[in-house]
Amino acid sequence: MKKILITGATGQIGSDLTLALRKKYGGENVIAAGHTRQPDKELAESGPCCNLDVRDPVALQTMVAEKRIDTIFHLASLLSAVAENKPQLAWDININGLINVLETARLQNCTVFFPSSIGAFGPLTPAENTPQDTIQHPDTMYGITKVSGELLCDYYQRRFGVDTRGVRYPGLISWKTLPGGGTTDYAVHIFHAAVKDKHYDCFLKPETRLDMMYMPDAVRAAIELMEADSRRLIHRNGFNVSAMSFSPQDIATEIKKFIPDFSISYTIDPVRQAIAESWPRHMDDSAARNEWGWRPEYDLPAMVKDMLEKLSGRF
Ligand code: SER
C-alpha cells in the first residue's frame, strides 16, 4: 500500500481509518473521498480530501489514474435502516458503487478492501458462533447488497486476479463520527445520551443481543488484513471478525458503573428490531484468527470505559 484511496472517508469507519492510515503511510498518500458529509477539521488538515460519488465510474477511474492509487478501501455504503427506507438507492450505491470500484481496480491494478457485515446473515443463519461458511440468506436490502458484495469481490479475485479482501464487521462503536442510520447505532447513541442527559430511550428491546466491536479493533482488522501475506489467505472476503456480544440492558448496566444515575427506557422500532433479530449474536472468527492472526483488544468493560472518557472530554 503506497497510495491509498478511501471512499466513504467521512463516515463512521472512514473518519477513523483514514487517520490511522495517514499515520502509518503518510498524510499525503491517503486520499479521503467523501460525498454526503463534509470532512471535519482533523480529516481536512491531515491530508488530501475530495468529493467523489462512487456511482460515477469516470470520476472514480480518473481519480485513481491521476493520483496513481494502488489500494482502495471502499467504505461508501448505505447502512441497514436507511437501506430499508430507500432500497433502490441502497442497491445503486452499495452494488453499482462496488462494481465501479472493482472495475477500476481491474483496469488499474489496485487492491480492494470491502467491508461486509453481520447484516450479510439472515434468519436462517445460526445466531450463536455463526460459522465462517454457512447459510446467509439475508432478508434486508442492506444484507442482500453485502452478500452480493462479498460474492462480487470473490468473483473479481478468481476471474480477473484482482486482490480483494474484506471482513464481516459486527456493530461498530466509536466516539468520533456518528453512524449513518444502522440497526446497531443504539450502541453509539447511548453514550452520547448518557454523557449529555443521563438517559437514553432505546429503539431495540432490552434483551436483543448482537455482535459488536470497538472502532480501534475494527480499524486494526482492516489494516492487518490488507497487510497480511496473501499466501496465508484461504478465504479472501467476508472474514467473520468478532470482539464482544451484548444487549441494550448489558451495556446500560456497564455504563451505570461510571454514571450511577444513568437510566434507560425502551420505545421499540419494529423495523430495526426485526433486522436485529435476524442477525448473529456472536460470530465464530477462527478463520480470521488462523489465516491472518486476528485478535480483538477491547471487550465490553474496556470499550465502555474508553468511550466515556473520550466523550466526557469532548462535551
Ligand atoms: N452497523 C451496521 C448497521 O446496523 C451493520 O453492519 O446497519
Whether 115 is in the pocket of ligand 1, judged by its Cβ within 6 Å, is no
Most ligand 1 atoms within 8 A of CB, residue of 118, 189, 208 to mutate: 118
Which of 240, 257, 290 marks a domain boundary? Answer: 240
Q: What is the CA(242)–ligand 1 centre distance, in A?
A: 14
104 lies in the same domain as 183: no
Cα 231 to ligand 1 centre (Å): 30
**Predicted local distance difference test score (pLDDT) of residue 226:** 98
Residues 203 and 55 in one domain: no
Measured distance CA(264)–CA(145) in Å, rounded: 33
Question: Do residues 62 and 126 both lie within one domain?
Answer: yes
Per-residue pLDDT, 314: 77
Residues 31 and 126: their CA atoms lie apart, in Å, by: 39
Are residues 194 and 183 located together in one domain of the fold? Answer: yes
The C-alpha cell at 120 is 450479510
Domain that holds residue 153: 4-170+214-240
22 and 161 both lie in a single domain:
yes
Residues 84 and 180 in one domain: no
Contact between 311 and 195 under an 8 Å Cβ cutoff? The reply is yes
3-state secondary structure of 201: strand
> Ligand 1 pocket, 245 CB below 6 A?
no
Same domain, 131 and 13: yes
Is ligand 1 within 6 A of the CB of residue 119? yes
Asked if residue 290 is part of any domain, the answer here is no
Q: Is 80 in the pocket of ligand 1 (CB under 6 A)?
A: yes
Domain count, the chain: 2
Q: Which residue, among 164, 151, 166, 149, has the nearest Cα to 109 in the 3D structure?
A: 164
142 shares its domain with 163: yes
Residue 24 lies in a domain: yes
**Does residue 78 lie in a domain region?**
yes
Supply the CATH number for residue 181's domain: 3.90.25.10
Q: Give SS3 for 292.
A: helix
Mutation test residue for ligand 1: of 114, 145, 184, 204, the one with most atoms within 8 Å of CB: 184
Instruction: Find out whether the beta carbon of 280 lies less than 6 Å from any atom of ligand 1.
Output: no
Looking at the domain assignment, is residue 153 inside a domain? yes
Atom of ligand 1 nearest to the CA of 172: 1
Is the CB–ligand 1 distance for residue 182 below 6 Å?
Answer: yes
Which of the residues in the chain have pLDDT under 50? none
Q: How far is CA 262 from CA 114, 196, 252, 302, in A?
A: 37, 10, 8, 18
Residue corresponding to grid cell 437514553: 200
45 and 79 belong to one structural domain? yes
Whole-number Å distance between alpha carbons of 137 and 293: 28
Do 222 and 137 lie in one domain? The reply is yes
Q: How far is the CA of 81 from the centre of ligand 1 (A)?
A: 8
Does residue 33 form part of some domain?
Answer: yes
Q: Which atom of ligand 1 sits closest to the CA of residue 184?
A: 4
pLDDT digits (tens, 9 = 90+) for 9-45: 999 999 999 999 999 999 999 999 999 999 999 999 9
User: Is residue 93 included in any domain, yes or no?
Assistant: yes
| 189: in domain | yes
Is 25 labeled as catalytic in the residue annotation? no
Same domain, 152 and 234: yes
Among the atoms of ligand 1, which is closest to the Cα of residue 185?
4
The residue whose CA is least distant from atom 1 of ligand 1 is 171
What is the C-alpha to C-alpha distance for residues 219 and 217, in angstroms, rounded to an integer?
5
- Which CATH number do you get for residue 21? 3.40.50.720
As a whole number of Å, the end-to-end CA separation of the chain is 36
Query: Catalytic one among 142, 156, 169, 298?
Result: 142
Distance in angstroms (rounded) separating the CA atoms of residues 175 and 313: 11
Decide whether any atom of ligand 1 lies within 6 Å of the 79 Cβ: yes
Residues 140 and 220 in one domain: yes
> Going by CA atoms, what residue is nearest to atom 3 of ligand 1?
182
* C-alpha R_g of the chain: 19
Determine the Cα–Cα distance for residues 188 and 175; give it in Å rounded to an integer: 7
- Residue closest via CA to ligand 1's atom 2 equals 182
Q: Does residue 160 form part of some domain? A: yes
